[in-house]
Chain A
Amino acid sequence: MTRTITIKKPSQRMIQVFDSLREKKRQQVEKLMKKKECVFTVKV
């Protein structure tokens, strides 16, 4: 089940947390496009 909350006026700290999640994602995507590390294969 999906539950969603919306925060219209986020605190500065909350924005910083989202910024750090975005940075982590950027690093991940960059790394994933470069090298493979323990990759399993699924065919559908």
Chain B
Amino acid sequence: MDISFDIYNDKGDQIRVALSYYDTESLQAFTSDPLTLTLVFYDVALVRVVGEEPVGVKTLMAICDVLFKFMNDNDTAVLCFYCDDLTEVPRNHKNLMPQEYRSRLFSCMFDMYVKANGISNIINYGIKIEDNNIPRFAHFITQEKYLPAVKLLGNIIMEK
């Protein structure tokens, strides 16, 4: 089952933050590393339900609040945020592609949140690939202690 949070701000915007469990039982075929197998992966989706203008810092921080509380309650959770190009995103920087803007915005709000809250144990690990000159981005949010396991898994799956 997905867990969703609807965030409303005083300008009438509504943003849905959804966390969806990845079925990773098949990971056992890739690795026997016990630490890696304890990790639980969730897809993060952010959907603008109402509103068309860029949202302010307060709303971005509320999104981070939801994600970090979830991380605190679920120690072995690894959040995966794929920056899609499926829909447009309200933005002032029209020269950036939607996926690039999403990646920058995600990293920016993450860094602002950890700085403001003195958090040092959670890492935003971004991967950018160039696919036929089109940039694609995925971010993995994990406790720093699990980063080696996440990297190991990534290397195995992607045959890097």
| Chain A interface residues toward B at CB < 8 A | 1-11, 13-15, 17-18, 21-22, 24-26, 28-29, 31-33, 36-44
Contacts and interface: CB of A to CB of B under 8 A. Distances in A.
A24 B59 CA distance: 25
Interface in B1-27: 1-10, 16, 18, 20, 22
A-side interface mostly: mixed
B1 A14 contact: no
Interface of B: 1-10, 16, 18, 20, 22, 43, 45, 47, 49, 58-59, 61-62, 65-66, 80, 82, 84, 86-87, 107, 110-111, 114, 120, 123-131, 136, 138, 157-160
Contacts, number: 132
A28 to B, nearest CB: 4
A25 B84 contact: yes
Contacts of B136: 18, 22
Given A22-B82, A25-B86, A26-B84, A39 B6 contact: yes
A44 B69 CA distance: 16
Contacts of A31: 2
A13 B129 CA distance: 12
B4 A38 contact: yes
B8 A43 contact: yes
Nearest to B103: A4
Given A2-B111, A32-B18, A40-B6, A25 B82 contact: yes
Contact of A28 (B18, B66, B123): B18
